[in-house]
Structure 1
């Protein structure tokens, strides 16, 4: 189902999005207000855009690049982690803002549901000056994190990137990223941007929010009227692949024992894009995405394993560009 990407001299995936430090706290039972709640706490590299890039590289994409913005407090650590994951970091170091931080409260019960407390920090301070059309040299696919749309400066950069990709014939995908922030931005504004996309990868909740429809199948079909290909991530219900005029195709989930659902959607997206770039059709790519999501929920944190290990945060400076570029 769907068109395949023809591989040629261009094979790179460029991801533009957020790089943050995740503080993952896994607690069992309800939070005890006003006192202590026992938890296992780890500090890990994260960010939806960075996670997608790492999972794409882990899934076999030979050339993955990431444009993001970090603070001087953790720039070198994040760059090392990306390189160890097989991603080429194109990081802008922000001299005024600290690296974004997300506190992930994860219920250690069977569902492993998570709640995020987000300080976007430098991650949403990307701006048009950080973009160069040269970033698309050798790029076969551009993926934009939906978080870019939630601040004016990064939204302007996303618009410039989309326009440049359209001019070069480079397909563009986006993950809406956050139902909460999406509601604040406004559905109409998001859909106006989405009209320029080739692929939209919402979660079930995001698809329903964007359409006002309660059933994910109906929401996927409706979004297929706006974007040529819509792939809705539905967790334990798998995924829905929808094109305008066609009934959505359900892709079954891969059974998994969940430890932490943080980054499962990012894993799906990264593996999906890697499969498309390898020549798979949309249904095949979505099946790869479901398999990656199942692997992701069995791990703590939003990244796949790599030989360098997740590492602990060490205060360091340098190693990232002072300004964007290739």
Structure 2
């Protein structure tokens, strides 16, 4: 059995998750009710799983793969964007549902964002989309937490996790959203994520899952269930916990933030790419923070491709 959360040296990274069309609206100050609010609006590729895969490739992982389901009408565009970022996509076109769409409202004064989400084809992923052969040559499997919030996609995620465990492949997961966890229930979420080697929540998600307001305390508690827990703290950096103890605290780089969309996904990609190179958890968290600092300097959740 490999070391929990580390992966097999020299192998690839498989991400199973979500591809999303992001409509990013950057506005200054409060939204004006019942009238116009001036904004810069861009349509860009996104999705927590896809973003993490792209940032892993940007962070030096040479073999990054992505399994996802998209609407047939947008499949070619998303395939092209992923390949430009160095990711090998396996996109399943869906004739009956559109590609997931997120409207991200970004306040330019704070770079904070609010999401309006239509999950579209993401939650139509099902066990038939999975094959253990997808793990051939893979050292680590990363699951987007969004898969856990619908019956079909949840069964796919559980099947992928079990295949990885049987193959001795480490598995990580990001919890995705406190809003979706609320609907599922904390106890059920924690039961469904049993056997995950690396949990990658942000501070709000870690506190929500534990009821502890201090992120370090929350991380330490979660690490009694998950072998490794890496918690992102926004401008305060990140911390890593294992066996009930915080073992690393990493500061964030000082940057001017344009858009915080995808910063956590960038951390995930940087962290996993570094771990697959054999770095320590602290060094992996530092790599994740570097990727996150780059992410907040661009609009959208992906690394620039030009």
TM-score by length of 1: 0.91
Give a deviation string over 1:36-80, Cα, whole Å, max 9, x none: 000000000000000000000011100000000000121100000
Quote the residue 2:59 is aligned against: 59
Q: Give, in whole Å, the separation in 1 of the partners of 2:247 and 2:283.
A: 14
CA contact (8 A) 1:3 1:281 kept: no
Quote the residue 2:233 is aligned against: 234
Quote the residue 1:204 is aligned against: 203
Quote the residue 2:299 is aligned against: 300
Closer/same/farther in 2, CA of residues 53 and 247 from structure 1, 3 Å limit: closer
Q: Which has the higher contact order (CA 8 A, sep 6+)?
A: 1
Quote the residue 1:312 is aligned against: none
Give a deviation string over 1:171-228, Cα, whole Å, max 9, x none: 0000001111111111111111222111000000000010011111110000000000
TM-score by length of 2: 0.97
Quote the residue 2:94 is aligned against: 94
Quote the residue 1:133 is aligned against: 132
Q: Are 2:220 and 1:221 aligned? A: yes
- Count of aligned pairs between the two proteins: 303
CA contact (8 A) 2:239 2:246 kept: no
Q: Give, in whole Å, the separation in 2 of the partners of 1:5 and 1:81.
A: 27
CA deviation after TM superposition for structure 1 residue 131, in Å? 0.4
- Of the structure 1 ranges 228-237 and 242-251, higher mean CA displacement relative to structure 2 is found in 242-251
Show structure 2 runs of 5+ residues with no match. Answer: none
CA deviation after TM superposition for structure 1 residue 285, in Å? 0.3
Quote the residue 1:249 is aligned against: 248
Q: Are 2:269 and 1:267 aligned? A: no
Quote the residue 1:145 is aligned against: 144
CA deviation after TM superposition for structure 1 residue 249, in Å? 2.3
Closer/same/farther in 2, CA of residues 32 and 245 from structure 1, 3 Å limit: closer
Q: Give, in whole Å, the separation in 1 of the partners of 2:68 and 2:86.
A: 16
* Within-5 A mapping of 1:48-197: 48-109=48-109, 111-197=110-196
Show structure 1 runs of 5+ residues with no match. Answer: 308-326
Q: Give, in whole Å, the separation in 2 of the partners of 1:26 and 1:6.
A: 41
Q: Are 2:33 and 1:33 aligned? A: yes
Give a deviation string over 1:64-111, Cα, whole Å, max 9, x none: 0000000012110000000111000101111100111000000011x2
Find runs of 4+ consecutive structure 1 residues off by over 6 angstroms: none
CA deviation after TM superposition for structure 1 residue 282, in Å? 0.8
